[in-house]
Structure 1
């Protein structure tokens, strides 16, 4: 009798866990689709055989002019990227500065600032978006499934050097919450690592490398 009850509890726990994971995965699957770039001046920065999967506008260099960040991918990446063999189809992150005439000027590009489509292992594409606020911008990643984690990498504009430098790198790994409290969060942090300039030193955006453990 006890063994039957234990088995039922294990099945129930698995179903709840799977349901929670499935819900988060379905939300995550909405990311990283091809987006329509309506601005012809922005389209000119997309090379042949690439397409945009993210676009965010804001003030990157504190000049009160709207700038733009775009993330580009190879159109074939779903079939040609192979992180397992160390051959990822790398994505291009562009920092584009808005000009007074409405055009844009490329400040920097980096092919090592956003993870590839299969860098999340069996759970797929970890890239989840970009945010910009007052000279700061963040590149965000997350994975939800049997393994839950997120990483937010933030850069800050240095007016004196006219460049963006790594400001912080925040990585959180989550595990399922075993609490019986019905109001408790489904996931809790298991690992929470926040690195700042004092940990990694001065790293410019163009020299940042997410594929390197050092970050450059």
Structure 2
């Protein structure tokens, strides 16, 4: 009887020890998982925003001279900016750290310089104007990401294009026109279009339709030169 009682007590003690050990192992495992999650969060915070405009690595030597240290090019467009016989170019630059350092929500966007480069007789380029406030920042589109979509050049005109798609759809195209007598480019049109989902029952209907459109011209904003234009200001200057 004494032996039976002894064995029963020993069995209970062993079960208790095993349970304690399991709890310690589980607790340690949970702590490891928490540590892994913390490290993951740290890694994710390093790269907060994703750009749709990858850096362009292959640059002509003549263009590399216009890219300062810690910056890279996300857009290169060629065309006739000043109505002469030589090909001109527009560069849009980005700070290499913008994916982690730009913070538009706190009014601290990493600005993206835009350069107007005029082609010379010898094939090189000359900087005409630079504007740090003509292109939206990487996180200016909020949850919908990088809003900058591109640049177009045609016969003395150039356009800056932005837009987002997702739960919210909009396009913003800003066009400048060359003034030969002043040897400068001035704001010509500012066109903003907001879209909404089409609730039409017609299966052939467009998925999106214009909700509203706002077109401003010189009559609305007056004379604004490229270097004074500011996209972060509702008035544009």
One fold, TM greater than 0.5?
A: yes
Counterpart position of 1:178:
199
Pair member with larger Rg: 2
Task: Give 1:134's match in structure 2, choosing from 146, 155, 159.
Answer: 155
Post-superposition shift, 1:30?
Answer: 8.4
- Structure 1 stretches of 4+ moved >4 Å: none
Contact 1:170 1:192 in 2 (8 A): yes
More helix by share: 2
Taking only aligned residues, the RMSD between alpha carbons, in angstroms, comes to 1.1
Task: Give 1:74's match in structure 2, choosing from 57, 73, 95.
Answer: 95
Task: Give 2:223's match in structure 1, choosing from 197, 202, 205.
Answer: 202
Contact 1:37 1:52 in 2 (8 A): no
**Structure number with higher relative contact order (C-alpha < 8 Å, ≥ 6 residues apart):** 1
Q: Distance in 1 between matches of 2:85 and 2:208?
A: 39
Counterpart position of 1:9:
none
Counterpart position of 2:233:
212
Counterpart position of 2:183:
162
Q: Which whole-Å deviations, capped at 9, do the CAs of 1:42-93 have from their partners, x for residues lacking one?
A: 0110000000000000000000210000000000000000000000000000
Instruction: State which drifts further: 180-189 or 73-82.
Output: 180-189
Counterpart position of 2:47:
none
1:85 is aligned to 2:106:
yes
In structure 1, the gaps of 5 or more residues are: 1-28
Using structure 2 for the length normalisation, give the TM-score: 0.78
Q: Which whole-Å deviations, capped at 9, do the CAs of 1:127-172 have from their partners, x for residues lacking one?
A: 0000000000000001001110010000000000000000000000
Counterpart position of 2:80:
59
In structure 2, the gaps of 5 or more residues are: 1-49
Instruction: State which drifts further: 129-138 or 178-187.
Output: 178-187
Aligned residues: 188
